[in-house]
Structure 1
Amino acid sequence: MTGVALVSASFAAPAWAADEASSLLHPMFDDHVVLQRDRPVRVYGTAPAGETVRVEFAGRRARARAGDDGRWEAQLPALAAGGPHALVVSAGGRTQRVSDVLVGDVWLCSGQSNMELQVWRALDARAEIAGAGNDRIRLLTVPQVSDVVPRAEFSEAVEWQPVNPDTVREFSAACYFYARELQKHVDVPMGLIDASWGGSRIQAWTSGGALRTLGDYDAELGVLGRYADDAVAAVGDWGTLWQDWWSAREGVEADDRPWGADEASGAWRAAPEQLGAWERWGVPELADFNGMVWYRTTVELDAAQAAQGATLVLGPADEIDMTWVNGRGVGSTYGAGSGREYALPAGLLRAGANTIVVNVLDTYRDGGLAGPASAHALRLADGSRVPLDGGWRYRVVPPELGTPPRAPWQSAAGLSTLYNGMIAPIGRYGLRGALWYQGESNTFEHDRYAGLLRALRSDWRSRFGDDLPLLVVQLANYGAAPTAPTESDWASLREAQRAVAAEDRNTGLAVTIDIGDRYDIHPTNKQELGRRLARVARHVVYGESLPPSGPVPASTSRDGDAVVVRFDDVGDGLVAYGAEGPIGFELCGDAPGSCRYAQASIRSDRVTLQAPGAATATRVRYCWADSPVCTLFDGAGLPAGPFERPVTP
């Protein structure tokens, strides 16, 4: 590797001059790098303050002057696809040379676990890895780091790597298969930047400034700003906000404060001594429970112990905890795999009984506070350890109370944390477009998702270019198939994705409703996903006239006692799989619970729907469930995607 990555927790000036080994170039510019073709190329890095920096590349030259903070940026003229070339930068008598540089199209691939899912976990992985070899596709993986302030550079070294069996194995399968398919139609080098994190919410990938424009996160962002300067005080502020959320829930009694010293209202029961996943406690109510459970215990301290500084040590909590000591919030962490350590403010502990309360939120599979009870303790400043082994009690929270707010500093569930730690360090690197596969972690707040997706799109365009194309992967099918019309958070989020994509000519949608896995939230057929994303790109980014992603509803109108849906973007006609007519359509009134399955028939580019009450239907829904059964395709083998539309006269 040519460059040496500089570690910076913020945009503070680098200690450049003190380190003769420091790189002139930002770590994005390394051997085997791919630069974006057909547009001016921004090159940037650090040098001694005031120093003139000279840049040479493929016969072009540019210069810049390092600012007071040591940072510089130069701009080279637009270049056609090709290479390899060498990038040479010099300043202050020093020269840095980057070799084997290609010029082509560069893609940022981001999102949660279905973007992160590696090639070795994909369909037919052994053959895919063994057959991988393409020097004209280059890979860079952004280290998984969250931060409460924007980083100027990565937390650890990064490098560009040509595709081979060793490098592709751990890389994003969706991103790799996309580029491999696209290169069959767009014959230029491809640079792929994978910045993804399993379980992440969209808010974590959006800058604080962009989130403020929504007006929904001002209080949380205020806490986040304080957290950067005084984490202990900010956690206490967050605890108050969390408590306000709880007290405002319908159905919560005015004196119900589970974080307090007294058990107050609610049915508290003794937890098993070994704790662990509550699904294994033998409690029917918890056998298949995703939601919140309160835990509480007490620990006795003498006066000398209580006077010391202390850290609360907890084992792993699956998957989010909010923790109080003596009624004060002391910490909240996202992630099931690691323990928690929360520094306690001075004066919080007292001689006698001290109450520790933990609220654990679980949204997927096993949940709970890891055991045994002796794994949890107070670690005192004198090095002694007081185990929390006096017995835990628990209380189950009714699901109808909803999902609590997430602490804004949490890694994948916070606000701007992954933008700060993984997007900001990329700098203003030249991109051809971005791929976005995310949403599973936001289904519980689907009503906010459209605004959040627009904010992320605008945010990234402000960094990477006003016309940055965004290719969105619509959520795949997952979960039990429906036996009757139902409301669905997943379907509502898919509708938000569809609507946001449809409103912007530089945004495309890849429909995946037929290639998910109802038993696995991580479907392995990323090859077909790559093909569909490449098809969307050919239409949205490269201007090909092919239908990008299957049939889309163009109009829904009444025809006597029937409703007719007309489709655009139909390749080779509409077809129904497995029956004379397509299934998955519903006709609905205005009232909740009014939807009914409809009989559907195809004629040309139209589907006619009939059902009891069709003459008064006000809405049409299609593929409306977590894991719907829907069989309308076009002759090119692309599915019609889920949608909800009003019926027009």
Structure 2
Amino acid sequence: MKFAAIAGTLCAVLMSLPAGAQTPSNPPLLAEMFQDHAVLQRDRAVPIWGQAAPNEAVTVKLGAQTLTARADAKGQWRGSFPATPAGGPYTLEVVTASGAKQTARDMVFGDVFLCSGQSNMEWNVQGTIGSQGAIATSKDDAIRMMTVAKTQSLTPSDKFLSPVHWQVASPETVPNWSAVCYYYARELKRTINVPVGLINASWGGSNIRPWMSEKALRDNGGYNDQLDLITFYARDASAGTTRWGAGFETWWAANVGEGKPWAVTAKSLASWDKVPDISKNWEQWGLGEFTAYNGGLWYAATVKLTAAQAKGATTLNLGTIDEIDQTWVNGKPAGYTSGAGTPRVYKLPTGALKAGDNTIVINAVDTWGAGGVYGDGPRNLSFADGTTVALTDWRFQRVAKTVPQPPRAPWDATGGLMTLYNAMIAPIGPYGLKGALWYQGESNAGEADSYARLLGGMMKDWRGQFGPDLSFLIVQLANYGARPTQPVESGWARLQDQQRLAVARDGNAALAVTIDIGDPNDIHPLDKNTVGKRLARGARALIYKENIAPSGPQPQSATRAGDMVTVTFTDIDGGLISYSTDKPISFELCDSNRGPCTYAAAQLSGNSVTLKALNAATAQYVRYCWADSPTCTLYDRAGLPAGPFEIVIK
């Protein structure tokens, strides 16, 4: 009876494994990209790779095609199948000389796209306008997606750090898929009629730099010291944390110039305010100034220890903090973490604590939504013998609203360097792609001037991995933020213009303009269907060579004649129009690229717009829709808007 029970359990375990999965005694022979339901890129050579015993021969079959390969001394093997047209399903089978075997079924050939960026790319279908109907009608064997788990790494990984799986579109799978990615594929399939594979690798709140490789960042310039610090941190996390903490202190002195809150003593801490409830975000404290506060705040607590407690191995537990913390113990850097849901657990080096009063100080920074220390903890010091001392009586000190956000540690998952490329892009390897969709930039709006260079560097970087002909489809950010009543400076508009410039300079990229679908009060516009449609239009023009304009009207030139400036546009479908007025608005003439600027009277004239203003004879730049949430009325007859831009008058 015992044998029967064991056999039954083993049978159940084996039946629960997905097709192509391997038992622990028979590890996978194929790289994780090659699984049941995968989409392989059609019409080009198909790289295949995996692992086996060192120097072992492997035989790989894909449909009627067969290749042989041999693993190298590290057990890695590679091969390539000839180009295959769209179609399927196919079965992929790998057999080693020793008899190990792995099979992946229901694989098809089609066009494969990588979808990446931050929260607006990550945003799922069920959270969008029209999701109910979209989900109900989503069953489609020819649309498939792999979602890469949000992970980070200090070094490039050839394997995903969390399991990945290909899924077929259905009402059961689509609700949690990337909405932009799915709506793009659904729209594209109406014209190309081949299977579409989607790889979603996105992370909300991420800067562009974590998505770039070390080489790309070094080539860009300006990041060598931070990259070297990552290498140092990887060897000795404690020493790296100390070095980064010292850098924070230098930054604070340069940007604030007064006080050292991290060095507060138990005696002087009495002048700080009491935290109303350490288990709640500061928005829930009942203090009006923090009701919708995004920024920084200092927290501190003291704890009295015996000499025996102070000299032993100790762990500092701080619970969860939304979303970034830099922590000190007795004035010395002790830890740094980014991530709202990540428990803060810091191993303290010998000598960090002392007999008597000890002070723990946290600089917490929140960039969006709720912020600060929260949750039930634990918040304590735990010792090697299993005992703990609770951290209570928390105090706080405000950070002036004029103080900018502090820099992120270079190993920060979403705000550092190369962390997401290493863990979420590098493991995709040389998998065949038709193109890449990129929806990101919100986290770079405060440093917009460098974005075109970074985006250009990232596109070059990814082409180094996936092939020089990789096409990019870039979403220009939607409107979000204050509505203007006069010409203003806008980091948001400058970021949008930098996206436009990067696409214009690239030669194998298209822009999806979304200035008309945003919400001034919500950074996450819920109309992801329109975004997907405009990306698909860009693909039809750029990749599939349809004779259509890839996006809305794009500025080509600005020239002066007397007291008038004429802006000429390209990429126009059917001619220029202005909605709700016969004269488009939101044009400005500027004395420099940092202002001052004056609203200009505009008049449509064929594929051009003529501008008049008091400074027309001397202005150096034209701006259009230059604000966080401008009113933009210039479109073409296909209903595509002109997006924000700034160009030189010649």
TM-score (structure 2 length as normaliser): 0.93
Provide the secondary structure at the position in 1 that maps to 2:104. Answer: strand
Counterpart in 1 of 2:19? Answer: 2
Counterpart in 2 of 1:32? Answer: 37
Counterpart in 2 of 1:15? Answer: none
Cα distance in 1 for partners of 2:266, 2:584 equals 55
Q: Name which of structure 1's ranges 143-152 and 470-479 shifts more when overlaid on structure 2.
A: 143-152
Task: Using the TM superposition, give the Cα deviation of residue 230 of structure 1 relative to its aligned residue in structure 2, in angstroms.
Answer: 2.3
Counterpart in 2 of 1:393? Answer: 396
Q: 2:110 aligns with which of 104, 116, 120?
A: 104
Q: 2:94 aligns with which of 86, 89, 97?
A: 89
Cα gap change, 1:5/1:537 in structure 2, threshold over 3 Å: closer, same or farther? farther
Cα distance in 2 for partners of 1:429, 1:108 equals 10
Task: Using the TM superposition, give the Cα deviation of residue 95 of structure 1 relative to its aligned residue in structure 2, in angstroms.
Answer: 2.8
Task: Using the TM superposition, give the Cα deviation of residue 635 of structure 1 relative to its aligned residue in structure 2, in angstroms.
Answer: 0.4
Cα gap change, 1:265/1:379 in structure 2, threshold over 3 Å: closer, same or farther? closer
Task: Using the TM superposition, give the Cα deviation of residue 295 of structure 1 relative to its aligned residue in structure 2, in angstroms.
Answer: 2.1
Q: Name which of structure 1's ranges 199-208 and 274-283 shifts more when overlaid on structure 2.
A: 274-283
Provide the secondary structure at the position in 2 that maps to 1:213. Answer: helix
Cα distance in 2 for partners of 1:107, 1:533 equals 12
Question: Aligned runs of 1:57-456 on 2, under 5 Å?
Answer: 57-92=62-97, 93-249=99-255, 251-253=256-258, 256-262=259-265, 269-275=272-278, 276-281=280-285, 283=287, 285-370=289-374, 375-399=378-402, 401-456=403-458
Any conservation in 1 of the 2:266–2:302 contact (CA below 8 Å)? no
**Matched residues, percent identical?**
50
Cα distance in 2 for partners of 1:76, 1:557 equals 54
Any conservation in 1 of the 2:266–2:359 contact (CA below 8 Å)? no
Task: Using the TM superposition, give the Cα deviation of residue 398 of structure 1 relative to its aligned residue in structure 2, in angstroms.
Answer: 4.0
Q: 2:61 aligns with which of 31, 56, 59?
A: 56
Any conservation in 2 of the 1:620–1:647 contact (CA below 8 Å)? yes
Q: Deviations over 1:549-589 (max 9, x none)?
A: 01000111112212111111111111111112111111111
Cα distance in 2 for partners of 1:616, 1:271 equals 57
Task: Say if 2:500 is the partner of 1:495.
Answer: no
Counterpart in 2 of 1:14? Answer: none
Question: Which ranges of structure 1 fall in alignment gaps of 5 or more residues?
Answer: 7-18
Task: Using the TM superposition, give the Cα deviation of residue 375 of structure 1 relative to its aligned residue in structure 2, in angstroms.
Answer: 5.0
Provide the secondary structure at the position in 2 that maps to 1:614. Answer: coil
Any conservation in 2 of the 1:294–1:397 contact (CA below 8 Å)? no
- Corresponding letter in the other structure for 2:33: M
Cα gap change, 1:281/1:162 in structure 2, threshold over 3 Å: closer, same or farther? closer
Q: Deviations over 1:453-507 (max 9, x none)?
A: 1221111111111121111111111123111111111111111111000011111
Cα distance in 2 for partners of 1:520, 1:534 equals 24
Q: 1:542 aligns with which of 538, 541, 544?
A: 544
Q: Deviations over 1:13-49 (max 9, x none)?
A: xxxxxx5311111111111111101111000000111
Cα gap change, 1:5/1:191 in structure 2, threshold over 3 Å: closer, same or farther? farther
Provide the secondary structure at the position in 1 that maps to 2:257. Answer: coil
Task: Using the TM superposition, give the Cα deviation of residue 523 of structure 1 relative to its aligned residue in structure 2, in angstroms.
Answer: 1.0
Task: Say if 2:50 is the partner of 1:45.
Answer: yes
- Corresponding letter in the other structure for 1:323: T
Provide the secondary structure at the position in 2 that maps to 1:115. Answer: helix
Any conservation in 1 of the 2:70–2:77 contact (CA below 8 Å)? yes
Task: Using the TM superposition, give the Cα deviation of residue 196 of structure 1 relative to its aligned residue in structure 2, in angstroms.
Answer: 0.9
Cα gap change, 1:91/1:591 in structure 2, threshold over 3 Å: closer, same or farther? closer
Provide the secondary structure at the position in 1 that maps to 2:200. Answer: strand
Cα distance in 2 for partners of 1:268, 1:78 equals 72
Cα gap change, 1:20/1:285 in structure 2, threshold over 3 Å: closer, same or farther? closer
Cα distance in 2 for partners of 1:328, 1:131 equals 58
Cα gap change, 1:591/1:623 in structure 2, threshold over 3 Å: closer, same or farther? closer
Provide the secondary structure at the position in 2 that maps to 1:315. Answer: strand
Any conservation in 2 of the 1:277–1:368 contact (CA below 8 Å)? yes
Counterpart in 2 of 1:529? Answer: 531
Question: Aligned runs of 1:638-649 on 2, under 5 Å?
Answer: 638-648=640-650
Any conservation in 1 of the 2:591–2:618 contact (CA below 8 Å)? yes
Counterpart in 2 of 1:568? Answer: 570
Counterpart in 1 of 2:619? Answer: 617
Cα distance in 2 for partners of 1:110, 1:338 equals 23
Cα distance in 1 for partners of 2:233, 2:22 equals 26
Q: Deviations over 1:366-413 (max 9, x none)?
A: 3222267x85222222222222213313132342x3222111222222
- Corresponding letter in the other structure for 1:277: N
Provide the secondary structure at the position in 1 that maps to 2:309. Answer: helix
Task: Using the TM superposition, give the Cα deviation of residue 419 of structure 1 relative to its aligned residue in structure 2, in angstroms.
Answer: 1.2
Provide the secondary structure at the position in 2 that maps to 1:240. Answer: helix
Cα distance in 1 for partners of 2:70, 2:593 equals 65
Any conservation in 2 of the 1:32–1:138 contact (CA below 8 Å)? yes
Cα distance in 2 for partners of 1:513, 1:349 equals 54
Any conservation in 2 of the 1:4–1:21 contact (CA below 8 Å)? no
Q: Deviations over 1:491-543 (max 9, x none)?
A: 11111111000011111111100011222211111111111000101111122
Q: Deviations over 1:129-164 (max 9, x none)?
A: 111111111111112211222222122332212111
Any conservation in 2 of the 1:268–1:395 contact (CA below 8 Å)? no
Cα distance in 2 for partners of 1:263, 1:107 equals 56
Counterpart in 1 of 2:510? Answer: 508
- Corresponding letter in the other structure for 1:445: E
Cα gap change, 1:267/1:298 in structure 2, threshold over 3 Å: closer, same or farther? closer
Cα distance in 1 for partners of 2:531, 2:593 equals 36
Cα distance in 2 for partners of 1:183, 1:265 equals 66
Task: Using the TM superposition, give the Cα deviation of residue 262 of structure 1 relative to its aligned residue in structure 2, in angstroms.
Answer: 4.6
Cα distance in 1 for partners of 2:422, 2:629 equals 34
Cα distance in 2 for partners of 1:315, 1:447 equals 37
TM-score (structure 1 length as normaliser): 0.93
Cα distance in 2 for partners of 1:104, 1:390 equals 61
- Corresponding letter in the other structure for 1:314: L
Q: Name which of structure 1's ranges 431-440 and 259-268 shifts more when overlaid on structure 2.
A: 259-268
Any conservation in 1 of the 2:276–2:285 contact (CA below 8 Å)? no
Q: Name which of structure 1's ranges 140-149 and 271-280 shifts more when overlaid on structure 2.
A: 271-280
Cα gap change, 1:263/1:397 in structure 2, threshold over 3 Å: closer, same or farther? farther
Cα distance in 2 for partners of 1:545, 1:457 equals 25
Q: 2:553 aligns with which of 543, 551, 571?
A: 551
Question: Which ranges of structure 2 fall in alignment gaps of 5 or more residues?
Answer: 1-17
Any conservation in 1 of the 2:299–2:394 contact (CA below 8 Å)? no
